[in-house]
Amino acid sequence: MVKTLIIGGGGMVGRKLAESLQKDETDEDLTLFDVIFPPETHGFKNRITGDITDPDVTNALAAARPELIYHLAAIVSGEAEADFDKGWQTNMLAFWRFLEALRAEHLASGGTYRPRVVFTSSIAVFGGPFPEEIDDVFLSAPLTSYGAQKASSELMLSDFSRKGFVDGISIRLPTICVRPGKPNKAASGFFSGIIREPLNGQEAILPVPTTVRHWHASPRAAVGFLRHSATLDLDLLEGRRALSLPGISCTIEEQIEALREVAGNDAVKLIKHVPDETISGMVAMWPRNFATERAISLGYEAESSFREIIEIYLQDDMPKPS
């Protein structure tokens, strides 16, 4: 394994990425960094806990000169919106300082150190009004602080890469579905909840109309996107180093029909429609569909149906009866 660092290795996707890397090789050259680690990660040998906004921390991470860096750490959308300071400090300024620290290592190495940086951006860089499908040349006009922070980070990573200090790519992941584990408080949480809870025999709340269309990929696809980004020849990007990735565009109604096919009517009956104006208003501003021709031509692969996304949850994450 090339010397690898996962920033945000304690999160759901970071952990799955680490497990995937470990499956192929030993974890000798794998370091996970996060502010806190859940018990599932305690098997990994090299774990560093710290605050990414501390310049000593970013300097130390860069000084170890990892060859491959996956950057998945972020203050999530809701928190970045509520805490303006924390969002910009963590999602933009800390990333800027980290790039500066990598540039310092590049210069100190006489130009030989030039790490691959895979940065997870988000479809939140897009703000409405949208066309039916968002294509590869549609503008980034974010309507959240989180989206603005991700979009400016994309610009920085592109310029540091163009100058040859790092070799970076920003990948805009679809909403990851079905998220395993307990419901979380993210406004988008119900997209996973209405599948996961019924499959586990529990009630789920649907706060928006079933006509709502959204953009999904599985956690397994997310790991695939990240790993593909690690080895892709980035010269193929021809300077446009931010990429919207493939996914499945479907309505809630289509999600529910897929659930019915997989788990029957009894599962579907566990979905309770409790309209929430606030959540409906937020969701109405989110992207619904993409035409990701560039990513597809570069070899990125997602699921081909929402049913497949449900089946991946059953295979990878469904709690086994004890």
Active site residues: 146
Q: Which is nearer to its own copies, 274 or 284 (CB)?
A: 284
Give the C-alpha separation, 14 to 124, whole Å: 20
Question: Interface mask (CB under 8 A) for its own copies, residues 281-320, using x and -?
Answer: ----------------------------------------
Which is it for strands 242-244 and 167-173: parallel, antiparallel or unpaired? parallel
Q: Which is nearer to its own copies, 124 or 252 (CB)?
A: 124
Q: Which is nearer to its own copies, 6 or 282 (CB)?
A: 282
CB of 174 to its own copies, least distance (A): 19
Total residues at interface with its own copies (CB under 8 A): 26
Place of tokens 């300024």: 93
Q: Count how many Cα atoms sit within 13 Å of the Cα of residue 234 in the half-sphere of its side chain.
A: 24
CB of 139 to its own copies, least distance (A): 5
Question: Interface mask (CB under 8 A) for its own copies, residues 107-146, using x and -?
Answer: --------------------x---x----xxxxxxxx-x-
Residue 212 to residues 9, 85, 188, 255: CA-CA distances in angstroms?
32, 32, 12, 10
Is the separation of the CB atoms in 39 and 242 below 8 Å?
A: no
CB of 84 to its own copies, least distance (A): 6
Q: Does 148 bind its own copies (CB under 8 A)?
A: yes
CA angle 93, 114, 139 (to 5 degrees): 50
Is the separation of the CB atoms in 23 and 223 below 8 Å?
A: no
Q: Which is nearer to its own copies, 36 or 137 (CB)?
A: 137
Question: Which token pair is 275?
Answer: 């309209």
CB of 205 to its own copies, least distance (A): 29
Indicate left, alpha or beta for 299 from its phi (over 0: left) and psi (-120 to 50: alpha): left
CB of 148 to its own copies, least distance (A): 4
Q: Does 156 bind its own copies (CB under 8 A)?
A: yes
Figure out which of the listed residues 32, 123, 151, 212 binds its own copies, where binding follows CB under 8 A.
151
Figure out which of the listed residues 54, 132, 133, 159 binds its own copies, where binding follows CB under 8 A.
159
Q: Which is nearer to its own copies, 19 or 83 (CB)?
A: 83
Q: Which is nearer to its own copies, 240 or 273 (CB)?
A: 240
Q: In 5-28, which positions are buried (b, 16+ CB within 10 angstroms) versus exposed (e)?
A: bbbbbbbbbbbbbbeebeeeeebe
Give the C-alpha separation, 74 to 53, whole Å: 11
CB of 34 to its own copies, least distance (A): 26
**Chain centre distance of CA 260:** 28
* Residue 166: how many other CB atoms lie within 10 Å: 21
Q: In 118-127, which positions are buried (b, 16+ CB within 10 angstroms) versus exposed (e)?
A: bbbbbbbbbb
Q: Does 173 bind its own copies (CB under 8 A)?
A: no
Q: Which is nearer to its own copies, 150 or 179 (CB)?
A: 150
75-104 positions binding its own copies, by CB under 8 A: 84, 93, 96
CB of 121 to its own copies, least distance (A): 13
**Chain centre distance of CA 311:** 20
Residue 193 to residues 10, 20, 51, 163, 303: CA-CA distances in angstroms?
21, 25, 30, 43, 19
236-255 positions binding its own copies, by CB under 8 A: 239-240, 242
Binding residues (CB under 8 A) for its own copies: these are: 84, 93, 96, 127, 131, 136-143, 145, 148, 151-152, 155-156, 158-159, 162-163, 239-240, 242
